[in-house]
């Protein structure tokens, strides 16, 4: 079964994904609370939920380069997180995500 996802928050794009497609992916790196998976066509970022003790799909990367950037720069991974944890701190405080609601 195919699902259609339209993301309007960060970028306007149309993504066709197969439901539960991250199950066929392999874990290539883990940095708590995130883990990075590589599938056949794209990469995925999952986040660990402490209350359910399970990994949940957080973000689907558009390219391999985006996945590698998220693995190298933890602040970029936090910036992609829909729960909006603090990221890219500066001397004056926290630079907020401009695309957050």
At 35-80, the pLDDT tens digits run 999 988 889 999 999 999 999 999 999 999 999 999 999 999 999 9
**Would the pTM count as exceeding 0.75?**
no
For the chain, the C-alpha Rg in angstroms (whole number) is 14
Residue 98: pLDDT over 80:
no
Instruction: Give me the pLDDT at residue 22, please.
Output: 56
Q: Is residue 12 part of a domain?
A: no
The range of the structural domain enclosing residue 49 comes to: 25-94
pLDDT of residue 25: 85
CA–CA gap between residue 15 and residue 26 (Å, rounded): 21
49 within a domain of the structure (yes/no): yes
Total number of domains in the chain: 1
């Amino acid at each position: 079964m195919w699902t259609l996802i339209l993301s309007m928050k960060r970028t306007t794009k149309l993504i066709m994904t197969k439901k539960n497609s991250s199950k066929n992916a392999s874990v290539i790196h883990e940095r708590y609370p995130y883990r990075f998976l590589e599938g056949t066509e794209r990469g995925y970022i999952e986040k660990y939920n402490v209350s359910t003790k399970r990994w949940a799909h957080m973000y689907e990367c558009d390219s391999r380069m985006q996945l590698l950037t998220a693995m190298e720069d933890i602040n970029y991974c936090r910036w992609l997180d829909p729960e909006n944890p603090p990221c890219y701190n500066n001397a004056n405080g926290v630079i907020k995500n401009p695309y957050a609601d």
